[in-house]
Amino acid sequence: MEYIAYLHKDRDSDYGVSFPDFPGCITAGKTLDEASRMAAEALAIHIEGMIEDGDAVPEPSQLDEIAKDAAKHGAIAFMVSVDAPDATVRVNITARESQIGTIDALAEAAGMTRSGYMVRAALGERKRPKKAKHVRRAVS
């Protein structure tokens, strides 16, 4: 998938990148090449976080749709490619009621859904409990 990114440069600053489809997803780089690489990484991390949180990932805006976007004033628009997220598949499992209770408690402590926790645990990617909702942002 390709998403539109805005490249911003202020005097005495790094190159900043933002995404009209993903408010709050920003990054920066000292050079144009670094900003471009960081943009792809920041967007991938942001989308991964949205999926983990159960948020819908928006379809990419069309260039015509951003023509009147005030945020693009003084910016250069460019395209950033990311892999499309895998489709989600629903599965059923069988477990003891007490086991499900334990899984639910662990998932809640980790700030995750039951499904998200079980997938992470099954793949060996256990997550420590988090104190506050994470901010999806990659900055150089």
In the chain, where the domains are located: 2-122
Average per-residue pLDDT in the chain? 83
Question: Which residues are CB-contacts of 88 (< 8 A; sequence separation ≥ 6)?
Answer: none
Average the pLDDT over 52-63 and give the result.
Answer: 86
Confidence check: pLDDT of 139 > 70: no
pLDDT at 20: 93
Question: What pTM, to 2 d.p., does this model score?
Answer: 0.60
CATH topology for the 2-122 domain = Double Stranded RNA Binding Domain (3.30.160)
Which helix (H) or strand (E) segment holds residue 63: the answer is none
Contact yes or no for 6/71 (Cβ under 8 A): yes
